[in-house]
Structure 1
Amino acid sequence: MRLRKASALAATVLTLSLTATACGGGGDAGGDGITIGIKFDQPGMALKTPDGTYEGFDVDVATYIAGELGYEPDQITWEEAPSAERETLLQRGDVDFIVATYSINEERKQQVDFAGPYFLAHQDLLIREDDEVPDVEAINDLTLCSVTGSTSASNVKEDFAPDANLREFGTYSECLTGLENGAVDALTTDDSILAGYAAQEQNQGKFKLAGLELSDEFYGVGLPKDSDLRDQVNDAIRQMVDDGSWQRFVDENLGPAGYEAEPAPEITETD
């Protein structure tokens, strides 16, 4: 990954070193661009559109951070980062960092580092428009769908609904199909993600959020272990909040869903 303030001599040495040892990974330091992991199937947060472009809150956040690191938008390569593969992508050096509704928790911090957090969401349920889930206890009687490797799936099993029938798929889009055809009763993940799905034109009037705040999910920027980028990424997040860009990204991407985001959280990942 190219550093903004690297000297010409250092850049030359680094380039020669990489030429000798390059293996083609997206996360190679000193290259002409930067590779960032995002989700490809989360409307409102990170979506790959049919024309091959990318849009959503996480995309805007990642683009802003990359800009503060010295990269133009056309120097960014977007890599799909499914929930179950995020740690592997970072450990293998396939990406420089990940912005993918990536909840910070102690288990993950044993494998990767985080900057941030930059967003606070709450786990909820997406249900069919005519259904109701009156309380947390009622979840135990449902067939739920979530994504393999997500904190949402872990929360169901370990915390609030141990008796629920949980089905895990590779993507939230697969869960949404199951919800629409009646194979599952609810899709569970963060309310920010669910709001994006509910707001899609083809889904309007079909689904709604149950309105249960089942957990606090602090989204962080995933970094390789012992990365030297954390301070720079944290500085970029602070700048994004201070100059109003963070709120603008929220309004543009999540406002159409009627989603009321929590204020930008305090940065805690500094050690």
Structure 2
Amino acid sequence: MKLRKASAAAAAAVALALTVTACGSGKKDDAAGGGSAGGGDKITIGIKIDQPGIGLKTPDGKFVGFDVDVAKYVAKELGYEEGDIVFKETKSADRETAIERGDVKFIVASYSINDKRLAKVDFAGPYLLAHQDILVRADDDSIKSPADLNNKKLCSVTGSTSAQNVKDKLAPKAQLQEYGGYSECLTGLENKVIDALTTDDSILAGYAAQEAFKGKFKLAGFKMSNENYGIGLKKGDTELKDKINKALEKMVQDKSWDKAVEAHFGPAGYKNEPAPKIGNIVK
């Protein structure tokens, strides 16, 4: 009798374990599965790790920023808890390759949607409409239009097209200064070695919102281009794209999007555009 009771108890324990395992395997969204970057217990998401306000890895190893919040929200809607996420640095020049190779399941990294990129990858979103702008010192009222950049020292990072766009189209006499990183441009701006820094307004707002720079800089609000930030994913993965789009729509509806914008860009006085509608690419 005791043996039969023990056997029955063991069988029940095995059945319970199988049930729990089955439930656990259904936790992750099937659309995010498959490949080394998704499925199973983890999902790998590409982000920037050196852009304050957008995507930054802090000294204690945490990841913070607006794009990071978007990535976490989308992953949760796909069935992944924060601990299931593996964030992978994805530099601008490597984004399409990382997606095509399967190094990441999707990328949330100030990734502007354009025709050249759409030939290689798909995009969910857009989830943010940014614009090329300039950052100046808070007490500088000499630059009131892009034309005022003529004969001014204009900084951007080496290899960026932002400063060249200004020189080619808006201020041909602007004196371009190329530095290794945006932080160097900010230091030059603070020390009056340069007069203005240019790139996407969201990136500028993220830098200006840092504790060390609060109140020292301001965005001009010139809106010199439209940058539709999207979530990059593998070409043809319509199922995952649709699910990410639904997650983004929910993020806007429940006001999590507004909270993330205010948390990461608000301290710089960033006047953001309203959340864009899915599929609405502003040219």
Tell me the TM-score normalized by structure 2: 0.77
**Aligned CA distance change for structure 1 residues 262 and 158 (closer, same or farther; 3 Å):** same
- Aligned partner of 1:141: which letter? N
Helix, strand or coil for the counterpart of 2:183? Answer: helix
Give the CA deviation at 1:33: 0.9
Is the aligned partner of 1:209 residue 2:219? yes
Could you say which residue in structure 2 is the equivalent of 1:21? none
Distance 1:151 1:159 in 2: 12
The answer to whether the 8 Å contact 2:132/2:201 transfers is yes
Alignment of 1:34-183 (within 5 A): 34-131=43-140, 132-147=142-157, 152-153=162-163, 155-156=165-166, 159-169=169-179, 171-183=181-193
Could you say which residue in structure 1 is the equivalent of 2:5? none
Indicate which of 253, 257, 263 corresponds to 2:274.
263
Distance 1:184 1:3 in 2: 52
Give the CA deviation at 1:36: 1.2
**Aligned CA distance change for structure 1 residues 167 and 83 (closer, same or farther; 3 Å):** farther
| Rg larger for | 2
Helix, strand or coil for the counterpart of 2:45? Answer: strand
Give the CA deviation at 1:55: 1.4
Distance 1:112 1:163 in 2: 37
The answer to whether the 8 Å contact 1:62/1:99 transfers is yes
Root mean square deviation, CA, Å = 2.9
Q: Which moved more, 1:74-83 or 1:141-150?
A: 141-150
**Aligned CA distance change for structure 1 residues 32 and 159 (closer, same or farther; 3 Å):** farther
Tell me the TM-score normalized by structure 1: 0.80
How big is each residue's C-alpha offset from its partner over 1:138-185, in whole Å with a ceiling of 9 and x where there is no partner?
A: 224333333456563564365434553444556422432343345543
How big is each residue's C-alpha offset from its partner over 1:185-236, in whole Å with a ceiling of 9 and x where there is no partner?
A: 3211122221222222211343222232212221111113223421111111
Could you say which residue in structure 1 is the equivalent of 2:246? 235
Give the CA deviation at 1:98: 1.1
The answer to whether the 8 Å contact 1:83/1:149 transfers is no
| Percentage of pairs with the same residue | 60
Distance 2:163 2:43 in 1: 31
How big is each residue's C-alpha offset from its partner over 1:222-265, in whole Å with a ceiling of 9 and x where there is no partner?
A: 11322342111111111111122112222222223322321111
Helix, strand or coil for the counterpart of 2:250? Answer: helix
Gaps of 5+ in 2: 1-25
Gaps of 5+ in 1: 19-26
